[in-house]
Amino acid sequence: MKISIYILILLISAVVAIGWSWKRLLDFNSYKKPFLEGVALQFFFLLIASVWWVLTEDFSHGVMGVFYYFLAFLTIMVIHGFILHYLFSKKKMMEREK
């Protein structure tokens, strides 16, 4: 049960961060600010999830859960950066064609 909640939280966090950044990418001429906003949103979401994990588990498992969330945060952040860079370059190519 815990692992399914963990995976669900990770998926929701990734979708929300990437979706928010994608939406904000349309408003900016650079992908850095939308990326940082998405990362901050994802960090806040996973911070709350880490606190939940520590409170529902004993200390040793709680610390490991926070470590897993940290690794997931870094992984999602890298994937998020690649996706945003791809979308930004695609946006720039479309603007050049016009």
Q: Would you state the pLDDT for residue 1?
A: 59
Residue among 16, 1, 9 nearest 80 (CA): 16
Q: Cβ distance 88 to 25 under 8 Å?
A: yes
Separation of first and last alpha carbons in the chain? 51
pTM score: 0.79
pLDDT means over runs of 10, the chain (98 residues): 79 90 83 87 87 79 82 90 88 81
Q: Tokens standing for 74? A: 């870094």
Q: Would you state the pLDDT for residue 7?
A: 83
- Calpha distance 8→92 (Å, rounded): 33
* Residue entry with tokens 């709350």: 48
Q: Would you state the pLDDT for residue 40?
A: 92
Q: Would you state the pLDDT for residue 75?
A: 92
